[in-house]
Amino acid sequence: MKDEKNVMRINNKRIIPVIETLYTLLFIGIFIAILLIIIPIGFITNLISPYILLGLFIISIFLFYKFGHQHFEYNSDGEVINIKTQDIFWVKYFPNSKSVVDFPKKKLINFKIEKKFFRETLELYVTSKRTSNGITKLKFNITYLKEDEIADLKRSLSKIIKNNKEQQTDEVEAEL
């Protein structure tokens, strides 16, 4: 039987209600801004233009969408690594916006976590026959994971890579 220490599950479902509430508030803001354009209320429109307010809400939704998928699931049970990401709000209306990747653990070569401004990205390097150099790079948004979840993810991926290297050296030694 395989080493059960490699089994790891990470899931940030706790963020779902927060994201849904944020999107709901932004869409309510757009609705209110449109109402203020149709029915101007003096003391509010004197403070801020409803057009600027509408623009701010639309830009906020756009930036939040472009920031990437909020929900992240990682599962390394068995011989396969499964990673699922999705934008919590938009997946209800556009089911194709969900990303599901699974590949055998033995194909994982390396990983890297990049931090840029307010965004963290997990990059996995996986062997592939489909590319000319034999390696495919997979990227996932992990900004919404807690620090301990990121540490667990690093630990799990490091163990898998270490086991893969040990298996490769064992196979080379067996051939000799």
Does 2 map to a domain?
no
Q: If the chain, 176 residues long, is cut into consecutive pieces of 10 residues, what is the mean pLDDT of each piece?
A: 60 90 94 91 83 94 87 91 91 84 92 90 91 89 92 93 84 65
- The answer to whether residue 109 sits within a structural domain is yes
pTM of the model: 0.80
Half-sphere exposure of 10 (CA within 13 A, CB side): 25
Give a yes or no: residue 161 inside a domain.
yes
Q: Are residues 106 and 56 in the same domain?
A: no
- Burial class of 22 by CB neighbour count within 10 A (0 to 12, 13 to 18, 19+): middle
Residues present in the chain in total: 176
Helix (H, G, I), strand (E, B) or coil at 69: coil
pLDDT for 122:
94
CA angle 86, 92, 93 (to 5 degrees): 110
- The whole-number pLDDT of residue 173 equals 66
The CATH number linked to 81 is 2.30.29.30
Q: Which domain holds residue 24?
A: 16-66
